[in-house]
């Protein structure tokens, strides 16, 4: 599985790079929040940066999806290996024509030296490596989401107060407008120079208040707009983190379900091999049992009783095993459906061997 190991290392590198990009955007959002608190209005989370993260995470998830499908392929091959182990080889059948004991000995030695157990354990270990990789990514995504949501909560509250203050300033500006118009009308008809001077002083004072309020309105409007942009950036990033987390959960669910299914598969096939071997031994005991020696017969009867007891226990346990296996298969079918729906393009490329095409 050298190529598979190389793919895992590539996925690890891609996850590390994706985490760096994700952390960078969250840091930018937090930095923007700090600038807002300091009265600065710079928000440098560009759409291009978000697009870059999405492109990289899509590539990362596609690579991991192909890894998972590779694990499925290897698992499917195990069934063929077990089938071959369950059957006698041509040589064993040939030797059995002359010496059944020798043929059985050859078969037992072949089963003993079979490496399927090691291969399956290696496969499960690789599944665990990928799950840990995905879980680490999921933990990071959830942590980043929590941080951004905290910032968003504070910013939403600040924008609400800013908008309220903006409305209050606009109300004051609107209240001053009639007073200014009234003074301008009085000044236009006043003949007395002293009265005109007094009214113009009042008008200048009102205009000063008006200008200060208009300036304050512009500052608060700009702040409100900046906060609004910040909120939209934050919401976009939270949605992105949520979607990425959902993808990680789909991948983790499939891998964990597949691992359970592999354990069940190995257990079932191992028991199948043991049962076949027990049946061969039982046939040999039965042949030996034709001897008329009473002591041997008694011994065979005891063996038969023990064998029957063991078979009864196996049959009783079989129902529980089948129920559990069926539950695992049902869970796997659901996990496979979610996986295929989210990674339809990868599944199609895998099934049709379209690698290297657009």
Q: Classify residue 231 by burial, with Cβ atoms within 10 Å: 0-12, 13-18, 19+.
A: middle
pLDDT band at 187 (very low <50, low <70, confident <90, very high): confident
- Other residues' Cβ atoms within 10 Å of the Cβ of residue 84: 12
Cα distance between the two ends of the chain: 26
pLDDT of residue 50: 77
Whether the CB-CB separation of 81 and 123 falls below 8 Å is answered with no
pLDDT of residue 81: 66
Half-sphere exposure of 255 (CA within 13 A, CB side): 26
The secondary structure of residue 46, as a DSSP letter, is -
pLDDT of residue 200: 87
44-70 average pLDDT score? 78
- Other residues' Cβ atoms within 10 Å of the Cβ of residue 50: 16
Whether the CB-CB separation of 241 and 145 falls below 8 Å is answered with yes
pLDDT of residue 311: 45
pLDDT averaged over every residue in the chain: 76
215-228 average pLDDT score? 88
pLDDT of residue 212: 93
pLDDT of residue 145: 92
Which two tokens mark 249?
A: 């959960």
pLDDT band at 213 (very low <50, low <70, confident <90, very high): very high
Q: Which residue has the tokens 């959830």?
A: 142
pTM: 0.67
Q: Provide the b/e sequence for 157-166 (b: ≥16 CB within 10 Å).
A: ebbeebbeeb
Q: What is the pLDDT of residues 88-115, one digit of tens each?
A: 777 777 777 777 777 777 776 766 666 5
Please indicate whether residue 188 or residue 347 has the higher confidence score (pLDDT). Answer: 188
Which two tokens mark 40?
A: 């600065």
pLDDT of residue 163: 92
């Amino acid at each position: 599985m050298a190529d598979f190991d190389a793919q895992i290392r590539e996925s690890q590198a891609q996850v590390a790079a994706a985490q760096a990009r994700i952390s960078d955007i969250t840091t930018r959002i937090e930095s923007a929040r700090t600038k807002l608190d300091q009265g600065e209005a710079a928000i440098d989370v560009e759409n291009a940066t978000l697009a870059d993260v999405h492109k990289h995470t899509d590539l990362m998830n596609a690579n991991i999806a192909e890894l998972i499908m590779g694990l499925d392929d290897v698992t499917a091959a195990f069934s063929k290996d077990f089938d071959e182990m369950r059957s006698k080889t041509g040589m064993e059948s040939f030797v059995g024509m002359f010496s059944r004991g020798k043929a059985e000995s050859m078969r037992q030695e072949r089963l003993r030296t079979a490496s399927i157990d090691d291969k399956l354990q290696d496969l499960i270990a690789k599944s665990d490596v990928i799950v840990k990789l995905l879980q680490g990514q999921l933990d990071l995504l959830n942590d980043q989401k929590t941080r951004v949501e905290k910032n968003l909560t504070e910013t939403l509250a600040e924008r609400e107060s800013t908008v309220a203050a903006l409305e209050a300033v606009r109300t004051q500006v609107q209240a001053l407008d009639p007073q200014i118009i009234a003074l301008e009308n009085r000044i236009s008809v006043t003949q007395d120079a002293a009265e005109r001077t007094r009214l113009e002083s009042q008008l200048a004072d009102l205009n000063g208040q008006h200008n200060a309020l208009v300036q304050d309105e512009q500052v608060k409007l700009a702040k409100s707009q900046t906060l609004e942009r910040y909120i939209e950036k934050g919401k976009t990033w939270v949605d992105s983190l949520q979607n990425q987390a959902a993808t990680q959960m789909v991948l983790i669910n499939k891998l964990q379900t597949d691992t359970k299914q592999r354990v069940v598969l190995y257990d079932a096939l191992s028991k199948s091999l043991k049962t076949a071997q027990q049946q061969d031994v039982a046939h040999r005991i039965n042949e030996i049992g034709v001897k008329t020696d009473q002591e041997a017969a008694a011994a065979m009867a005891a063996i038969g009783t023990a064998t029957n007891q063991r078979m009864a226990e196996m049959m009783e346990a079989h129902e529980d095993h089948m129920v559990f296996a069926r539950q695992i298969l049902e869970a796997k079918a659901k996990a496979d459906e979610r996986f295929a729906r989210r990674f339809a393009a990868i599944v199609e490329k895998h099934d049709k061997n379209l690698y290297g095409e657009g």
